[in-house]
Amino acid sequence: MLRAQLLDRQAQRESAARTYARTIPVAPVAAAGAEVTGADGRTYLDCLSGAGTLALGHNHPEVTGALREALRSGAPLHTLDMITPAKDAFSEELLGQLPGTLRHQAKLHFCSPAGTDAVEAALKLARNATGRQGVFAFTGAYHGMTLGASAVSGPERMRGQLTDAQPVTRLPYPYGYRCPFGVGAEQAGELSARLLESFLTDPSSGVATPAAVILEVVQGEGGVVEGPDAWLREVRRITAEHGVLLIIDEVQTGIGRTGYYWACERAGVTPDVLVTSKAVGGGLPLALIAYRPDLDTWQPGDHTGTFRGNTLAMVAGQITLRTVAQEQLPEHAEKLGARIRGGLRDLALDHPAIGEVRGRGLMIGAELVDPDAEPDRLGSLPGNPRYARALQAACLERGLMLELGGRGDTVLRLLPPLVLTDAQADSVMNRLTDALTDVERAA
């Protein structure tokens, strides 16, 4: 069936809430590594990789080989949360890759296979283990679409309803480019951590000690915004001193994406609860939390779900976890990411609409602004959603799939597979450069 027909039928049949399907009107029919072929016969470089899921790219031969073998073996594909050899092997591999004191020690809880359910589980575990109800979360955060997870997220449309007995207190994320304090990321990190400490120590703060603080080390959907290491270490110190659990959501940053196996490792911080999904399942749906064993005080059935033991996801996940470590893909991501960011910064010199280039490893963002507009009182130029949308479309025309994020979708986001080659990275830059010229010519 032709691309246009597929897209028309999708538009007739599927929900108005669909997203990527609208902004990236490709009907993928084949894919390998960082390349996707659409029903129109065109090949695209994939810098979206399933919203950061495909660490090893599409159809990595070791993953597909192991999946074929699992299917051939007659192993049960669906086992609720019963143990299988595939699940045991996955757990062994994951436990060996966890950060800091969680390594080989953590308890694992397998969730329904979406990041958002693992966030729900983390919040529930924290409330259970501490007996407290409140949670501190950050501006600009994205933790998922279910009610508990969206209640700790930033955007208005996502704000879920928790009961009054489960309050969420918002702390400012140290977003340097649009700094809430007008002082830049490092100092904002200090102030944000000081505010956290003051909430916990001032008897008149009006805020009850929470069960947990939840954060992303690099905010992904929030626009590739990095929290400084010193901020993260301070949050860790303060939470530990006050018996507040630190939940780090590594759904997007985990498994090598940021140049470390886990993003929290760069600052030498270990969370009490680590949330993982996306790449952990090797492209198949899988989500879980790994946490300090002494927190395991909840009871059978406190957090369940039908799909917590998908054999194919365990197989694909185990191979992905192992391959990322064996092939030193975090180091590769760091090197290649630095090169791409360097190229983007060079482009920014000629294209003032690129306000800032940032990111870690192969989690890269370029914030797009209106250079002709008046800066705000803090000196920031307003974001440029129309330019961002036009650039995304021009990239697609040039055969480059990528995503937007951040406030008003004004941040161009690159999340290529970690196996992206140097030549492919050059091609990404060339296509992006041409797309920028296309957009500016059309303006």
| Beta bridge mates, 33 | 58
Nearer to ligand PMP, 119 or 314 (CB): 119
CA distance 209 to 224: 29
Nearer to ligand PMP, 55 or 200 (CB): 55
What CA–CA distance (Å, rounded) separates 221 from 243?
Answer: 29
- 373-382 long-range Cβ contacts below 8 angstroms, 24+ apart: 378/178, 378/179, 378/182, 379/182, 380/177, 380/178, 381/355
Give me the least distance between CB of 370 and ligand PMP, in Å please: 27
Smallest distance, ligand PMP to C-beta of residue 114, A: 4
Cβ distance to ligand PMP smaller for residue 221 or 334: 221
Distance in angstroms (rounded) separating the CA atoms of residues 53 and 51 = 6
What are the CB-based long-range contacts (under 8 Å, 24+) for 174-182? 174/227, 174/228, 174/231, 175/139, 175/140, 175/219, 175/222, 175/225, 176/225, 177/225, 177/355, 177/356, 177/358, 177/367, 177/380, 178/378, 178/380, 178/407, 179/378, 180/139, 182/378, 182/379
Q: Smallest distance from the beta carbon of 165 to ligand PMP, in angstroms?
A: 24
* CB within 8 Å of 395: residues ≥ 6 apart: 401, 402, 431, 432, 435
For position 252 contacting ligand PMP by CB under 6 A, the verdict is yes
Helices (H), 74-212: 85-97, 115-130, 147-151, 185-201
Q: Stretches 111-119, 336-344, 355-363, 373-381: which one binds ligand PMP (CB under 6 A)?
A: 111-119
Radius of gyration of the chain from Cα atoms?
A: 22
Q: Does 266 bind ligand PMP (CB under 6 A)?
A: no
Question: Of 54-62, 114-122, 330-338, 373-381, which segment contacts ligand PMP by CB under 6 A?
Answer: 114-122
Q: Which of 251, 354, 396, 401 binds ligand PMP (CB under 6 A)?
A: 251
Which of 314, 425, 323, 412 is CA-nearest to residue 97?
A: 323
Nearer to ligand PMP, 130 or 277 (CB): 277
Please count the residues of this chain forming the interface with ligand PMP, following the rule CB under 6 A: 15
Alpha helices in 131-228 (DSSP H): 147-151, 185-201
When the beta carbons of 351 and 360 are compared against ligand PMP, the nearer one is 360
Using CB under 6 A, pick the residue from 38, 220, 330, 337 that binds ligand PMP.
220
Q: Please report how close the Cβ of residue 51 comes to ligand PMP at its closest, in angstroms.
A: 5
Query: Which CB sits closer to ligand PMP, 56 or 152?
Result: 152
Closest approach of ligand PMP to the CB of residue 313, in Å: 13
Is 221 near ligand PMP (CB under 6 A)? yes
Residue sitting closest to ligand PMP (CB):
115
Q: How many CA atoms lie within 13 A of 281 on its CB side?
A: 29
Site string for ligand PMP, 120-159 (x = CB under 6 A): ----------------------xxx---------------
Q: Binder to ligand PMP among 97, 116, 384, 424 (CB under 6 A)?
A: 116
State which H helix or E strand residue 288 sits in. strand 288-291
Instruction: Please name which of 56, 404, 438 lies closest in space to residue 257, comparing C-alpha atoms.
Output: 56
Per CB under 6 A, contacts with ligand PMP among 351-410 are none
Among positions 31-90, residues that touch ligand PMP (CB under 6 A) are 51
Residues that bind ligand PMP (CB under 6 A): 51, 114-116, 119, 142-144, 216, 220-221, 249, 251-252, 277
